[in-house]
Chain A
Amino acid sequence: MGSWGFIGLAYGVAAVAILTFFVLLRRRLRGAAEELAALERDGGRRTP
């Protein structure tokens, strides 16, 4: 592998790590927001 191969590998690995973290964070945020909304809906139904 030449110099540009190593450069591409380094930047590629970093891009994959950052994008994966970004996507997983968004997914976790969405999941948590949905769970909170469901909990609040349930809580609202139970309150007289």
Chain B
Amino acid sequence: MERVARIAPSIGAAAAVILAVGLYLGLVAAPPDAVMGELQRIMYLHVPSIVTAYLAFTVVFCASMLYLWKRDLRFDAVAVSSAEIGVVFTGITLATGSIWGKPTWGVWWTWDARLTLTAILFTIYVGYLMLRAFAEDPRAAARYGAVLAIIGFLDIPLNHFAVYWWRTLHQPSSLLRAGGPSVARAMLVPLLVNMLGLMLLYAYFLVRRVQLERVRHRILEGRLRRGRRG
């Protein structure tokens, strides 16, 4: 972990550079959409945000499974850290989607299956963080949290396929779909660059957040030792 923490500034710097390039490509270089015009540029932020959130919650799911199996708090530290970052990116997805929805659909919000399931995803992981904050024993927090995270993860495939299973206002996936992306190359490149940038930013945040969790564990151990010594 120490070795990873040492390269964290490089990961952060790489994320900043790639995001700057992605912003230029998305806001300046990419052509406007034939139907939506300039508004479609919100896609270069909206789609990478939800893909990064999916990545974050997948890490939470894997780390939670590993915690329940090995009962090692290091896995729990990764799970809680990744959940917090996932909530931030899901929040960004909801906000940018709503801002995109207003001029496109005429409303800030509608109870469409995709939107509702994304809001549920956000609520599940906010609930996960609250549950952990209220549990006094770290091992109990880790155990309850892991169970909730594993159940909550089921919302992701449901959310992804919602646009195919139900009639929704939200368009079907144009990136993660059978047969490959349906996006034109001039739009696909900025999308992928921004996705890489946000994933690197996620990696940077994860390393730093896990660092914080480890320091908190050491503080707790220190307090317990002091308590035992009287």
**Pair B208/A25 contact, Cβ less than 8 Å:** yes
**Pair A10/B223 contact, Cβ less than 8 Å:** no
Judge if B72 is at the interface, Cβ distance under 8 Å.
Answer: no
Q: Quick one: given A7-B38, A14-B95, are A32 and B45 in contact (CB under 8 Å)? A: no
Chain B hits for A26, CB < 8 A: 208
Chain B residues numbered 11-58 whose CB sits less than 8 Å from any CB in chain A: 23, 27, 37-39, 41-42, 45-46, 49
Q: Most B CB atoms within 10 A — which of A7, A35, A43?
A: A7
Judge if B160 is at the interface, Cβ distance under 8 Å.
Answer: no
Roughly how many angstroms separate A7 CA and B212 CA in the complex, as a whole number?
34
Judge if B126 is at the interface, Cβ distance under 8 Å.
Answer: no
**Pair B88/A25 contact, Cβ less than 8 Å:** no
B226's partner among A25, A33, A43 (CB-CB below 8 A) is A43
**Pair A13/B215 contact, Cβ less than 8 Å:** no
Q: Quick one: given A6-B42, A25-B205, are A17 and B216 in contact (CB under 8 Å)? A: no
Chain A residues numbered 1-48 whose CB sits less than 8 Å from any CB in chain B: 1, 3-4, 6-7, 9-11, 13-14, 17-18, 21-22, 25-26, 28-29, 32-33, 35-36, 39-40, 42-43, 46
**Pair A21/B205 contact, Cβ less than 8 Å:** yes
A7's partner among B39, B208, B218 (CB-CB below 8 A) is B39
Judge if B138 is at the interface, Cβ distance under 8 Å.
Answer: no
Q: Footprint of A on B, CB under 8 Å? A: 23, 27, 37-39, 41-42, 45-46, 49, 85, 88, 91-92, 95-96, 99-100, 102-103, 201, 205, 208-209, 211-212, 215-216, 218-219, 222-223, 225-226, 229
**Apart from A4-B38, A7-B38, A32-B215: 18 A-B pairs, beta carbons within 8 A:** A1-B103, A3-B38, A6-B102, A7-B39, A10-B46, A10-B99, A10-B100, A11-B27, A13-B96, A17-B88, A18-B88, A18-B92, A18-B201, A25-B209, A32-B212, A32-B219, A33-B215, A35-B219
